[in-house]
Amino acid sequence: MQEHVQLSQKKINDDLLAGVLGMPKWWLGAVGFLLLVIATGIGAYGYEINKGLGVTGLNRPVLWGFYITNFVFWIGISHAGIMISAILRLTQAEWRRPVTRVAEVMTIFSLMAALSNIMFHVGRPWRLFWVYPYDFSRGLFMNIRSPFVWDPSAVMTYLIGSTLFVYVALIPDIAVVRDRATGKFAPKIYGMLCLGWRGTPRQWKLQAIAGILLSALVLPVFVSVHSIVSWDFAVAIGVEGWHSTIFAPYFIIGAIHSGVSAVAMIMALAMWMWKLDNYLRPDHFDAIGRLLIVVATTWFFFFFVEWIFALYTLESPELALRELQVFQAPYMWLFLAFLLTSFFIPVPMWLFKSVRRSPGLMFLSTILVNIGMWLERFLIIIPGLARRQPLQFDWGSYHPSIVEILVVAETFAFVALGMLLFSKFFPIIPIFDMKEGMQVREEIKIGRRIVPASIRETP
């Protein structure tokens, strides 16, 4: 392809390690700012622990609010990592190469952020460890019937799996950094981390096998995690709008929608911040844009079916809830914003090739999607609880308090900080994968047309 840039190995090393071995100007500033946000968030959380959950905007009956919304959101974001890298790796899509690590690392940090939201949410976080099986002296076990036990188990499995996944793919790159790092400790630390990588054929083979195995094993976990998150809502019969069988696939596809968007967003950011124009090419954004059209449309169909069935029940609480969501302020405005930002603005944009190939516009549209998907979770959770239902004696809404806003901002800062720190210490674009990509890249001439091709081993 015309836009494909063939780079030498040295150039790849130089470009991708510049951030790791050097220090861009903005880096400290950004880290400082994020730390400040995190500090205020933690301070707010400390205040919440000391005073009780009364400092949040939660009330009866809106007992779940920003934290759970945020939890679902981050779990959703985390899904793109595995989705992009495992599926594309298994299907051997060439364009995945520079994208995978961004996605995987985002998975890890957003999973951590999601887990921390559970901590913010519960009334007595210092007893949170009771959901894990430890308490044998009292003869008490956690209640494995509860989705809140399935949740942490699945999320922890996913976190461990995806960390391993990232790590396995990172080993050859750490070795590259090890060989180049200066100073007293850095080479030693990188040396330990890369597990004695020397790049022998056997090591490469093992690394490749491990990568494929982990991809295949992590995929079912990835599906299970968000299904389980959706069952936090769907299995409950107490809340009308939640008891719907479509929730598991609907959440998964929504998660992929928001997650892939987040990947595009972070790709654009990484491209600008670390000057990776040679690696994250317009056709990567193009590929992600096309993927997003499919994902967004599928997601919208699920959304449509969910709504149709909600109306189809003709149950008065269900109808009242939908009315609340669509026709009553403030949910009305949020709903409008949600529809526009998550589907009706970005998808028509992506239909144009010029938009898909422009990182700036992709950045903009994917930010919109993420705003929309955050609102989607909010609109599922809060109106569902605030609805007028039988025996509901307290009518009212929910307004997040400053504490909740600070804590939610903290999770965003946390993920951003995690990504920043990671990209400072490890190459954010897989060096070995890029080099491999350069090796297997070929072109075939058919008549006057030149078609991109890739080298496969003879089967």
Q: Which is nearer to other proteins, 62 or 159 (CB)?
A: 62
Nearer to other proteins, 104 or 232 (CB): 232
Query: Residue 9 or 328: which CB sits closer to other proteins?
Result: 9
The answer to whether 103 and 86 have CB atoms below 8 angstroms apart is no
The burial of 104, by beta-carbon neighbours within 10 Å (0-12 exposed, 13-18 middle, 19 or more buried), is given as buried
In the bound complex, what is the minimum distance in angstroms from residue 306's beta carbon to other proteins? 6
Residues 6+ apart with CB under 8 A from 337: 371, 372, 375
In angstroms, what is the minimal distance from the CB of 15 to other proteins? Answer: 9
Rounded Cα distance, 211 and 205, in Å: 10
Pick 18 or 332: Cβ nearer other proteins: 18
- Select 68 or 108, whichever has its Cβ closest to other proteins: 68
Question: Shortest distance, CB of residue 90 to other proteins, whole angstroms?
Answer: 9
Label residue 44 exposed, middle or buried (CB < 10 Å: 0-12, 13-18, 19+). Answer: buried
Nearer to other proteins, 58 or 260 (CB): 58
CB of 276 closer than 8 Å to CB of 5: no
Q: Which amino acid is at 284?
A: H
Least distance in angstroms from the C-beta of 64 to other proteins:
6
Rama region for 24: left / alpha / beta (φ>0; ψ in -120 to 50; rest)? beta
396 contact partners, CB below 8 Å, separation of at least 6: 59, 62, 386
CB of 367 to other proteins, least distance (A): 25
- Residue 136's CB is within 10 A of a number of other CB atoms, namely 8
Q: Measured from the CB atom, is 20 or 265 closer to other proteins?
A: 20
* Surface-to-core class of residue 193, CB atoms within 10 Å of its CB (0-12 exposed, 13-18 middle, 19+ buried): middle
In the complex, least distance from residue 331 CB atom to other proteins, rounded to whole angstroms = 18
Closest to 76 (Cα-Cα) out of 378, 442, 388: 378
Closer CB to other proteins, 371 or 409, in the complex: 409
**Nearest-approach distance from CB 395 to other proteins, in angstroms:** 9
Q: Give, in order, the Cα–Cα distances in Å from 50 to each of 45, 94, 222, 224, 301.
A: 9, 52, 36, 35, 45
In this structure, are residues 129 and 118 in contact, taking their beta carbons and an 8 Å threshold?
no
Decide: 81 and 106 in contact? Cβ < 8 Å.
yes
d(CA 391, CA 412) in angstroms, rounded, equals: 37
Our measurement of the distance from residue 406's CA atom to the centroid of its chain's CA atoms, rounded to an integer in Å, reads: 20
Q: Residue 390 CB, nearest distance to other proteins (Å)?
A: 3
Rg (CA), the chain: 23
Q: Least distance in Å: CB of 20 to other proteins?
A: 10
* Residue 2 neighbours by CB under 8 Å, 6+ apart: none
Contacts of 88 (CB under 8 A, 6+ apart): 95, 96, 99, 100
Q: Which is nearer to other proteins, 363 or 400 (CB)?
A: 400
Length, in residues, of the chain: 459
Smallest distance, other proteins to C-beta of residue 36, A: 5
| Nearer CB in complex with other proteins: 101/387 | 387
